[in-house]
Amino acid sequence: MKAIKRTKISELLKSTAYGAEVNVRGWVRTRRSSKQVAFVALNDGSTINNVQIVIDVEKFDEELVKLFTTGACLSVNGTLVESIGGGQSVEIQATDIEVLGECDNTYPLQKKGQTMEYMRTVAHLRPRTNTFGAVFRIRHNMAYAIHKFFHDKGFYYFHTPIITASDCEGAGQMFQVTTMNLYDLKKDDEGSIKYDNDFFGKQASLTVSGQLEGELAATALGAIYTFGPTFRAENSNTPRHLAEFWMIEPEVAFNDITDNMDLAEEFIKYCVQWALDHCMEDITFLNNMIDKGLIERLRSIVDTEFVRLAYTDGIKILEEAVANGHKFEFPVYWGVDLASEHERYLVESHFKRPVILTDYPKEIKAFYMKQNEDGKTVRAMDVLFPKIGEIIGGSEREADYGKLLARIEELGIPMKDMWWYLDTRRYGSCPHSGFGLGFERLLLFVTGMANIRDVIPFPRTPNNAEF
């Protein structure tokens, strides 16, 4: 076959160089044939759109044409021609076709309209479908937008460790990392496991958050963000929880809680606007196939001011709803950790726009949050979104050495793990704030997908680590 430089389908579909000799490569999505012509829809992942290959059957070996099956990988030489049929502007009149990879009828993606549950069982192949191709292109674009947002604002991308000895959120939901022989565990006289001879000489785990190290960086570089995988061994089988998810955590010296809320709101709107500006083909597909309200919801977010409300006032609204006959599955009272149904009631039913809830009871929040004068609440902020519930969690940090130390002791957090963190408050302490955005929760919102397992290529959840 004549060597012609390959053109990506995304480029080709924009071309008007009719008559040009081109080469495209990709996977067969569908094929239709009549006696004289075969039409093959080819996709190479560069766009959701396929290019149509028109094959004059008489000019090709009959046995070769039989190999142009759904899923097969083809290299096609041909002439770019203006398309007469509706839909696309150009198609390729094939002159030469090579089958790079055959595909027989055991191919799991032959049937259209499979369930999302089924697609998870073929997660190694699902990026070849329209829906998952769209989702993963959007995922890439969102990652790029996030780096661009912070870089343009003068934040530094700071790499925090994946393996750690401290539990940032203090929720005890960490996966242990060990090289010890689990069949022959050494224990001391009290029956406790001895970690002295383990790889790190102490108990180590996968991180639940890069925040603590992020604070070290912010109190040196001024403004930083992390963007990496985080791990939680919580046994939550919900459409919004993963055991391995990606988190973005900005941390800024001299920011108070209001600056923190401003940053969070600007950041999320920037990401959504970026998706509308750069991913419209994929979003339009998802709007048509997955979630009819998607585009409207995305547009409404960038145009509306988020509500800012204290937790205590949020509870009053929820209690009123209960008094007026609204049924929640879980009880509502001051001090309760809000369930997703409560968060969504505030956002979707009461205010009908995103809500930033602040000043939560200290008992339900992490040790590092700045304590309010009332002695009961801390300067926490959760950003609550329609359909998602909590999308961001953050706070102003306790900058006072004495108060932080007292809280650490009160909660019984082992001090030997915390000395380096306390040093930020001991040496040149400063007010500072930050938050964490769950990357997959953002993607749920931007793609309209219903389950968090479908916005990450290979989801890790309880009882599932396939692929």
Rg of the Cα atoms in the chain: 27
Decide: helix, strand or coil at residue 356. strand
> What is the number of other CB atoms lying within 10 angstroms of the CB of residue 67?
16
What x-and-dash track marks residues 152-171 binding ligand 4AD by CB under 6 A?
A: ----------------xx--
Site string for ligand 4AD, 351-390 (x = CB under 6 A): ---------------------------------------x
Cα(349)–Cα(353) distance, integer angstroms: 9
Q: Which of 393, 394, 434, 448 binds Mg ion (CB under 5 A)?
A: 393
Q: Which does 247 bind (CB under 5 to 8 A by kind): Mg ion, ligand 4AD, none?
A: ligand 4AD
Contact between 256 and 122 (Cβ < 8 Å): no
Q: Which is nearer to Mg ion, 228 or 393 (CB)?
A: 393
Helix (H) or strand (E) holding 283: helix 280-289
Q: Which residue number, 126 or 379, has a Cβ lying nearer to ligand 4AD?
A: 379
Of residues 17 and 364, the one with the C-beta less far from ligand 4AD? 364
245 interacts with, out of Mg ion, ligand 4AD, none, CB within 5 to 8 A per kind = ligand 4AD
Residues that contact ligand 4AD, how many (by CB under 6 A) = 23
From residue 347 to residue 386, what is the string marking binding to Mg ion with x (rule CB under 5 A)?
----------------------------------------
One-letter-per-residue 3-state SS of 200-236: CCCCEEECCCCHHHHHHHHHHHCEEEEEEEEECCCCC
User: Alpha carbon of 183 to those of 153, 178, 180, 299: distances in Å?
Assistant: 51, 13, 9, 56
The smaller minimum CB distance to ligand 4AD, of residues 228 and 434, is found at 434
Contacts of 374 (CB under 8 A, 6+ apart): none
Is there a contact between 251 and 274 (Cβ–Cβ < 8 Å)? no
- 348: exposed, middle or buried (C-beta count within 10 Å: 0-12, 13-18, 19+)? middle
Residue 440 contacts ligand 4AD per CB under 6 A: yes
Least separation in angstroms between CB 396 and ligand 4AD: 10
Q: Which CB atom, from 71 or from 393, has the smaller least distance to ligand 4AD?
A: 393
At closest approach, how far in Å is the CB of 368 from ligand 4AD? 8
Binding residues for Mg ion, rule: CB under 5 A, are 393
Binding residues for ligand 4AD, rule: CB under 6 A, are 168-169, 209, 211, 232, 234, 241-242, 245, 247, 249, 390-395, 434-436, 438, 440-441
